[in-house]
Amino acid sequence: MTQPSDDYDAAARVALFQRGRAVYDKWCAPAHDPIADHPGTAALAAKYGGEKPPALLDRDDLTAERIREVVRGGVSVMPFFRKTEISDADLEALIAFLTDKGPA
């Protein structure tokens, strides 16, 4: 598992974060970037009505469990992703990127 911890190697963490960003850019950004008419952003704006930010990049409450659930289970019109698209290792990197907003 790749949850950062105090003794986590800094270089590995940067590499993981960068891989996660690449996964986000390829698979999530087209729907979830902070642009109002992107479909994921628009749907989450409607869902949370201002209680939470609509763009994934602005969220600080995303958990590893929820990200796994949505990527592998889909939600509403968002389909799930196969492992030839987002591998298990890619998914862990994505989780690191979305739950840990950047190497310190």
Partner 1 sequence: MDAPLPPAVDRAAFEAALDAFAGVVGHEWVFRSHEDVALYRDAYSPAWGEAEELLPSAAIAPATVEEVQAIVRLANTHQVPLYPISTGKNLAYGGSAPAQSGTVVLDLKRMNRIIEVNEKQGYCLVEPGVSYYDLYAYLQENGIKLWIDVPDPGWGSVIGNALDKGSGYTTPQFRAHFDAHCGMEVVLADGEVLRTGTGGVPGSKTWQSFKMGLGPVIDGLFVHSNYGIVTKMGFWLMPEPEAYLEGIVDFQHFDDLIPLIDEWSYLENSRIISGYPDFQSPIFGTPGMSGMVDMLCDGPGQPDAEYLALMARGAEPEDYEPYALAHGIPFWRMRFVYYGPKRVIAEQWAYTQQRYRAAVPDVRFADGDSYDFPIDRDMAKQLKNAPLLGVPNMKTFSLGARAAWNPAEPSRGHAWTTLLLPHDGRELIKANRILNKALKDAGIFSGFTFNTPFNNWERVLKFVVIFQISQDPEENRKLREAMPKIFAIAAENGWAEYRTHTMFQDALRSTYAFNDHVVPRFHDRLKDALDPNGILAPGRYGIFPRHMRKEKGA
Does residue 72 interact with partner 1 by CB under 8 A?
yes
Question: What is the chain's length?
Answer: 104
Asked whether position 57 contacts partner 1 by CB under 8 A, the answer is no
Among 8, 26, 63, 101, indicate the residue that binds partner 1 (CB under 8 A).
26
**Which of residues 6, 61, 65, 79 is near partner 1 by CB under 8 A?**
79
27 burial (CB, 10 Å; 0-12 / 13-18 / 19+) is middle
CA distance linking residue 57 with residue 62, whole number of Å: 10
Give the nearest distance from C-beta 6 to partner 1 in angstroms. Answer: 32
